[in-house]
Amino acid sequence: MSNYVLQIHGRDLDINVSSRSVLGDRHTGYDLIEYGDDGSIIKIQTLDLIKNNSNGKIEILFTESFDQQPIVFSDGSQQIWHNKMDIDGKVNNDVTPELAEKYHFKTAQLITGQQALEAFNWIHFHADMVNAFTEAQIGIDYSVFGPNCNTWTNTVSNFIPGVFDVFENIGGKDDYRGSWSYLTSCTTGNDLAKSQYIDNMMTQLISMESQHDMNITQWEPVINYSADEDGNLSFFCEFANCTMDGRTFNIIFDDNNGKTINCGLSNVNYLVKGALGNDVIYGNNGNDVLIGENNDDILRGGSGNDYLFGDSAYVYDGYEFGNDKLYGGTGNDILVGGRGNDEIYAGEGLLDEIYCGDGNDRVYAEKSETGDGLTKAFLGGGDDYYKGSDYRDMVDGGTGNLDTSCSWRNIDRKFLADATNNRNEVYLYGGDDIYRGGDGMDYVDAGDGDDTILSGGGDDEIWAGIGSDFINAGTGNNHIHCGEDNDMDTIRISNDAGFTDYIYDFNPNIDVLNISGSLGNVELIGNNYVLTSDNNHKIVLNNAANEYSAVHLIQAMNAFGAETSSSSGVWDRAGPVVGNNLYDLAVSIDINRKTA
């Protein structure tokens, strides 16, 4: 089993540095030393600050070696000891190995290989990127590199002056069975590549600024924010021209304070895990994963295909949940509110999915008239409100009470050619729900509960289910299923000319039919009611048991406003209407039961 030691300035183990101009100096940076059980050295990883004599650039050198050979700078690089250094708040000139020994740079004993890798690979960048090296994540006790120590320019400064603005061009070559990587100053427009950093933030801002164009590739930092104070953390790029195509930021918070995170670098994928406080996290145009954790968070995904978790991505017992606000943006997003009373805004994505969980949630899946996508919403428990998109919505209302509002426009232009894609699918299940379907084709399964279904326009199919439901079919050729329960359903027909409404499982002893609109002639056909007008509007009342009788037709006639009759069974509808105002009944009717 390996043992690991993380040392500073070669205190635990001398690793000599050899170059054309310097030989035998102890190096200045970090060492991660892996020992075997017998005390032999298995591998050494070093991180040093050097000066390239061929071009004069200050560079960070990473070397991985499987033997104890000296580090050789074959390209003329030179080990650097800082001209000035802030030690315990005091600036010191002429820092030497003797001075380093005097201040007792300590060695950290690391227990596991994972700790060792975390400790060594994570380099701290200060707010203005003035520090090359500061404390590692695990086990280091020293304060040599103070907050203003600019190790790239060897000066005490709050900014990176001159040509040493930013860092770029990490190349690589093999030497002594190891790999070398360089991080150099930005002067020639080269690229930053193959590097990894973690930021154990004690300040509140990371920024990169330069007057030069910069293209950053393969930079995948892991940033760990564990400051004790509240603060806002922003990431933004201020270059003349900056891109970071396809890269990933991992940002994880360890404390209990709320944070504001602005993921402002373009074309970068972020994984951001918020603190336990009230966080505000802004994604960008990458494919981001934003995790708010508990308490009340605000997450904005931006324009990529994002995953937004209002609470933890992993739910466990005893977890405290927040009332979150999630904004999906323009990509195809998956938004998970979790528990709590959440507000979720799907945005303009073509294929969005929404998962609410428990809590009284409000979901807004509205899209502009130019969109033609599908929003799937699974609302879970709680009393929820759902406002659907202008186009297709498939809604699972869960077990709570749902108040929904949907609109659907541009049907003729968008979807009439494909009948399978031009309707909203809404599953309300339990609860006293309200559904407003708008002008599109809706499929509504109301489920249990006393529901209100306002289907609006379009050819709708409505299943009332169990409970006393109110259904307003609106315009269109509608199919309404009352259900086989013993609860009273109220069906209102207020259609225009040229449409037919079909009502199934209508129980005349329980259910109520309320009819309004421009209706003319009505006649009885077979064992079913068929109410039709001369302007081609028709209502069909179907009952599998054929239990309709004359009294039921009389009730229907009353709904049309019939006022008088004759012994021949002719009813006269009062008031001027289009067409024949007489309803001619071809069956024997007991007129005395007209008002019963």
* Boundaries of every domain in the chain: 3-167, 464-596
Predicted confidence band of residue 141 (pLDDT cuts 50, 70, 90): very low
Closest CA to 171 of 70, 296, 252, 59: 59
Report pLDDT digits (tens) over 198-256. 233 222 223 333 333 333 333 333 333 333 334 333 343 333 333 334 444 445 444 45
* Per-residue model confidence (pLDDT) at position 278: 76
Average pLDDT, stretch 454-480? Answer: 85
* Per-residue model confidence (pLDDT) at position 449: 81
Report pLDDT digits (tens) over 306-323. 888 887 654 434 445 778
Closest CA to 30 of 167, 147, 139: 139
Average pLDDT, stretch 469-478? Answer: 84
Q: Does the pLDDT at position 357 exceed 70?
A: yes
Q: Does the pLDDT at position 383 exceed 70?
A: yes
Predicted confidence band of residue 10 (pLDDT cuts 50, 70, 90): low
d(CA 203, CA 77): 33
Q: Does the pLDDT at position 330 exceed 60?
A: yes
Rg from Cα positions in the chain? 37
Q: Identify which of 29-33, 246-250, 568-572 has the greatest average pLDDT.
A: 29-33
* Per-residue model confidence (pLDDT) at position 310: 82
Averaged pLDDT of the chain: 57
Predicted confidence band of residue 75 (pLDDT cuts 50, 70, 90): low
DSSP per residue over 473-537, as a string?
--SSS-EEE--SSSS--EEEE---TT-EEEEES--TTT-EEEE-SS----EEETTEEEEE-TTS-
Q: Residue 256 corresponds to which tokens in the numbers above?
A: 């209990």
Whether 513 contacts 489, CB under 8 Å = no
Q: Does the pLDDT at position 146 exceed 60?
A: no
Predicted confidence band of residue 291 (pLDDT cuts 50, 70, 90): confident
Average pLDDT, stretch 109-115? Answer: 59
Average pLDDT, stretch 173-202? Answer: 28
* Per-residue model confidence (pLDDT) at position 96: 54
Report the predicted TM-score, pTM, of the whole model to 2 decimal places: 0.44
Burial class (CB in 10 A: 0-12, 13-18, 19+), 6: buried
Q: E strand or H helix at 45, and its extent?
A: strand 41-52
* Per-residue model confidence (pLDDT) at position 150: 30
Distance from the Cα of residue 285 to its chain's centroid: 12
Q: What percent of the chain has pLDDT over 70?
A: 32
Q: Which residue has the tokens 């600019």?
A: 150
Average pLDDT, stretch 543-568? Answer: 47
Closest CA to 570 of 552, 593, 586, 550: 586
* Per-residue model confidence (pLDDT) at position 139: 28
* Per-residue model confidence (pLDDT) at position 301: 85
Average pLDDT, stretch 160-176? Answer: 24
* Per-residue model confidence (pLDDT) at position 398: 64
* Per-residue model confidence (pLDDT) at position 366: 74
**Please, what's the b/e burial string for 275-310 (b: 16 or more CB within 10 A of its CB; e: otherwise)?**
bbbbbbbbbbbbbbbbbbbbbbbbbbbbbbbbbbbb
Predicted confidence band of residue 336 (pLDDT cuts 50, 70, 90): confident
d(CA 343, CA 191): 41
* Per-residue model confidence (pLDDT) at position 292: 79
Amino acid identity, position 338: G
- Contacts of residue 389, defined as CB under 8 A and 6 or more positions apart, other chains included, come to 346, 365, 366, 367, 371, 373, 375, 406, 407, 408
Predicted confidence band of residue 344 (pLDDT cuts 50, 70, 90): very high
